[in-house]
């Protein structure tokens, strides 16, 4: 299904009973709504599950470059909730999607029951402003990297299983290096500008045991400073941990939802 917003058209899918507790999944950079297919299958009998393509991804349209990506995508989530007549939902985000979830919880706290951060980085520890100086180098490296090799490296850097890597190679090729470059700049911008403090919602923070060390370290620091958080390491999983080890992730997620959805 498509929803026309004031910034462009977004694609979404809805599963499960209309009156059931709602959860919205937001994917990572260069992915799409299919990232959460296994979670949809596990939850749709008891929850109203919404998956969508964020701007620049999948079937959704890009947005104007002058618009800040994370806050615009957060507004789109609320527009989806309004369209579906959902007053409150659990918001789950993977990587870039986690930044969007943090913005949504900050901007619309009354619409959020709880949050799930999958391989995410906290916006509550602002990176030094000099970090943004890396943007020109990132742009150059992505531009010079041969496209097929870039797609393969991107996939192998974020997933362990062959099926997940194949999925990522497909979505990275579809998204394109230009959009990925822009979104990487937007992520750095978010991490530098940060947010003022933790919203009061219960939070599940999850990372894989094969995740990059600095993300694991950030997750542990995030948990130590968030008064209402739970931290879980998923075994045999990398950045796209919900696909690398869906059984372990789904078990943790369902326990969290039973308590907070």
Q: Indicate the number of domains in the chain.
A: 1
Confirm whether 137 is domain-assigned: no
DSSP bridge partners of 12? 52
The angle at the Cα of 8, spanning 96 to 106, to the nearest 5 degrees, equals: 45
Pair of tokens at residue 200: 């009061």
The strand pair at 48-53 and 8-15 is best described as: antiparallel
- For residue 102, the model assigns a pLDDT of 97
How many whole angstroms separate alpha carbon 173 and alpha carbon 166? 11
Query: 145: pLDDT confidence band, cut at 50, 70 and 90?
Result: confident
Residue 141 lies in a domain: no
**Domain range for 229:** 2-125+196-260
End-to-end CA distance of the chain: 24
In a domain, 147, yes or no: no
* Residue 96 forms part of a structural domain: yes
**Are β-strands 89-94 and 22-26 bridged in parallel, bridged antiparallel, or unpaired?**
parallel
Instruction: Give the pLDDT score at 127.
Output: 77
- Condensed to tens digits (0 to 9), the pLDDT of residues 95-110 reads 999 999 999 999 999 9
- The whole-number pLDDT of residue 164 equals 96
Does residue 42 lie in a domain region? Answer: yes
- Cα separations (Å) of 142 from 31, 38, 136, 154? 17, 31, 10, 11
CATH number, domain containing residue 236: 3.40.50.1820
DSSP 6: T
φ, ψ for residue 237 (rounded to 5)?
Answer: -150, 150
Residue 54 belongs to some domain of the structure: yes
Return d(Cα 209, Cα 135) in angstroms, integer: 28
Q: What DSSP state is assigned to residue 202? A: -
Q: Answer yes or no: is 14 within a domain.
A: yes
Residue 206 and residue 85 in contact, taking contact as beta carbons nearer than 8 Å: no
Comparing 129 with 36, the larger pLDDT belongs to 36
Is residue 32 in some structural domain?
yes
Whether residue 97 contacts residue 54, with contact meaning beta carbons closer than 8 Å, is answered with yes
Q: Calculate the CA 237 to chain-centre distance.
A: 16
Contact 53, 60 (CB under 8 A): yes
pLDDT higher than threshold 80 for residue 241 = yes
């Amino acid at each position: 299904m498509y929803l026309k917003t004031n910034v462009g058209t977004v694609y979404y899918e809805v599963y499960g009973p209309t009156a059931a507790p709602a959860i919205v999944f937001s994917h990572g950079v260069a992915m799409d709504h299919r990232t959460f297919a296994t979670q949809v299958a596990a939850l749709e009998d008891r929850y109203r599950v919404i998956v969508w393509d964020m701007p620049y991804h999948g079937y959704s349209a890009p947005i104007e470059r002058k618009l800040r990506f994370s806050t615009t995508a957060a507004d789109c989530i609320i527009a989806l909730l309004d369209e579906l007549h959902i007053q409150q939902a659990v918001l789950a985000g993977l990587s870039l999607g986690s930044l969007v979830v943090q913005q949504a919880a900050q901007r619309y706290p009354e619409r959020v029951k709880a949050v799930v951060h999958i391989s995410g980085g906290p916006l509550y520890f602002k990176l030094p402003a000099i970090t943004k100086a890396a943007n020109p180098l990132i742009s150059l490296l992505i531009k010079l990297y041969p496209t097929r090799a870039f797609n393969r490296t991107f996939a192998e850097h974020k997933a362990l299983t062959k099926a997940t890597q194949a999925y990522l190679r497909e979505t990275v090729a579809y998204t394109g290096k230009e959009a990925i470059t822009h979104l990487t700049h937007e992520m750095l911008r978010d991490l530098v500008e940060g947010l003022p403090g933790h919203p009061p919602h219960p939070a599940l923070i999850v990372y894989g045991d094969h995740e990059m060390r600095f993300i694991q370290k950030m997750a542990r620091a995030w948990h130590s400073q968030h008064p209402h958080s739970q931290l879980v390491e998923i075994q045999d999983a990398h950045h796209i941990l919900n696909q690398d080890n869906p059984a372990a992730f789904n078990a943790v997620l369902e326990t969290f939802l039973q308590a907070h959805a």
